Amino acid sequence: MIEAWGRGTIKIVDECKKAGLPEPEFWEQFGGLSVHFRKADKAREAQVEAQLKAQSERILFILSRSEASASELLSELGLKSKTGYLKRDIKRLMDENLIEYTIPDKPISRLQKYRLTEKGRQLVATMRGDKRK
C-alpha cells in the first residue's frame, strides 16, 4: 500500500533518522495517509547522554596516560573551546571522584591540571578489561 503513496515516505523516514528522531508511524485512514511524528526529547536525550558517556571515557583514557590541563584535554578531544558539555563532564567526573585537581588548593591556577583518582584508575582498568587494576 505504501508503494502507492510514492517514495516520499522513505525520504521522510531517512530525514527523521538523519535528525536523530524516532521513525514516524504511517497509518492508512479513510482512504488517505496519516503520519504521526513522535517527540524527539527522549531520542535526543539518549543521543546526548551517549555522546557525554563517550567523551567521559575519552577523558578518563587521556588522563590514564598522564596528567592534563584543560587546554591539553581540549586538544586531545579535538575541541576548539571549552564547551558547556565538557565543563559539565569534568564536573561530573570530579563529583564521582574519578578525577581530581593536581593543585586542589588553587582550582583556577594557570598551572592546574587534572589526574585520575584511584577510583578512576580502577574504572579505566575495568573498561580495558585489565585484571591488574
Residue 96 sits in a domain whose CATH number is 1.10.10.10
Q: Is the same domain home to 77 and 30?
A: no
What's the pLDDT score for residue 48?
A: 65
The answer to whether position 31 is within a domain reads yes
Answer yes or no: do 20 and 56 share one domain: no
Do 25 and 84 share a structural domain? Answer: no
pTM: 0.61
Alpha carbon distance 3, 45 (integer Å):
33
> Is 133 a domain residue?
no
Within this chain, do residues 19 and 50 fall inside the same structural domain, yes or no? no
Checking if the pLDDT of 84 tops 90, the result is no
Cell output for 46: 539518549
Mean pLDDT over each residue of the chain, to the nearest integer: 84
Whether residue 90 is found in the same domain as residue 105: yes
Asked if residue 50 and residue 34 are part of one domain, the reply reads: no
What pLDDT sits at residue 130?
A: 64
Q: Which domain holds residue 56?
A: 42-128
Q: What is the pLDDT of residues 19-71, one digit of tens each?
A: 777 788 888 877 777 888 877 666 666 766 777 788 899 999 999 999 999 99
